[in-house]
Chains A and B, each alone.
Chain A
Amino acid sequence: MTLLALNNIEVVYDSVFLAVKGVSIEVPEGGLVALLGANGAGKSTILKSISGLLKPERGAVSHGQITFEGTDILALDPPERVRRGLVHVLEGRRVFEHLTPEENLLAATSMHGDRSEVAGLVEQMFQLFPRLAERNKSKAGYLSGGEQQMLAIGRALMTKPKLILLDEPSLGLAPFLVDEIFDTIRRINAEQNTAVLLVEQNAVAALDVAQSAYLIEQGRIVMSGTADVLKSNPDIQQAYLGGGSGVDYHAVKHYRRRKRWLA
Chain B
Amino acid sequence: MFYRRAGIRHTRYQDERQIWPLPFDRRLALLIFLLAIFAPLLIDRLYLVSYLLPWVIWSTAALGLNFLMGGAGQIHLGYGAVIAIGAYASVHMVRAGLPFELAMIGGGLLSAAVGMIFGATALRVKGLYLAMATLAMQYIVDFVIIQFPAISGGTQATLQVPRVSFLGVEVTGDLAPYYVALLICLLVTLFMLNLRRSSFGRALAAVREKDYAAAVIGVNTFRYKLLAFWVSSFIGGVVGSVLAVCYYRAISPDQFHLDLSIQLVAMVIVGGLGSVLGSFFGAALILFAPILLNQFFGFAASELGMTISTDLRSHVPLMLYGAMIVGFLLWEPLGLAKIYANLRNYFLVWPFRHARQ
Contact = CB atoms under 8 A, between A and B. Distances in A.
Contact of A18 (B346, B348, B354): B354
B342 interface: yes
A12 B342 CA distance: 13
Main secondary structure of the interface of A (DSSP, over half): strand
B160 interface: no
A62 B354 CA distance: 11
B349 interface: yes
Interface in B336-357: 342, 345-346, 348-349, 353-357
Interface residues of B, number: 10
B342 A18 contact: no
**Interface footprint category on A:** under 10
A89 B167 CA distance: 65
A15 B345 contact: yes
A202 to B, nearest CB: 26
Contacts of B349: 16
A26 to B, nearest CB: 26
Contact of A15 (B354, B356, B357): B354
Nearest to A15: B342
B342 A17 contact: no
Interface in B316-354: 342, 345-346, 348-349, 353-354
Interface string A1-37: 0000000000011111111000000000000000000
A12 B345 CA distance: 13
21 contacts: A12-B353, A12-B354, A13-B357, A14-B342, A14-B345, A15-B342, A15-B345, A15-B346, A15-B354, A16-B346, A16-B349, A16-B354, A16-B355, A17-B354, A17-B355, A17-B357, A18-B354, A18-B355, A18-B356, A18-B357, A62-B353
Given A14-B342, A15-B346, 8 more contacts: A16-B345, A16-B348, A16-B353, A17-B355, A18-B354, A18-B356, A18-B357, A19-B357
Interface of B: 342, 345-346, 348-349, 353-357
